[in-house]
A and B are shown apart, each in its own frame.
Chain A
Amino acid sequence: QVQLVQSGAEVKKPGASVKVSCKASGHTFTPYGFSWVRQAPGQGLEWMGWINAHNGDTNYAQNFQGRVTMTTDTSTSTAYMELRSLRSDDTAVYYCARFRITMAYIDVWGTGTTVTVSS
Chain B
Amino acid sequence: QSALTQPASVSGSPGQSITISCSGTSSDIGSYNLVSWYQQHPGKAPKLLIYEVNKWPSGVSDRFSGSKSGDTASLTISGLQTEDEADYYCCSYAGRTTFVLFGGGTKLTVL
Interface residues of A (CB under 8 A from B): 35, 37, 44-47, 49-50, 59, 61-62, 95, 100, 103-112
A105 to B93, CA, bound (A): 8
A111 to B45, CA, bound (A): 7
B89:A103 contact, CB within 8 angstroms = no
Q: List, in ascending order, chain A residues with CB within 8 A of B40's CB.
A: 45
- Please tell me which one of the listed residues A62, A100, A103, A112 contacts residue B45 in the complex, with CB atoms under 8 A apart: A112
A contact face: mostly helix, strand, loop, or mixed: strand
Report how many residues on chain B are interfacial, defined by Cβ distance under 8 Å.
28
A118 to B32, CA, bound (A): 41
Query: Nearest Cβ distance between residue A63 and chain B, in whole angstroms?
Result: 10
- Please tell me which one of the listed residues B3, B38, B99, B104 contacts residue A106 in the complex, with CB atoms under 8 A apart: B38
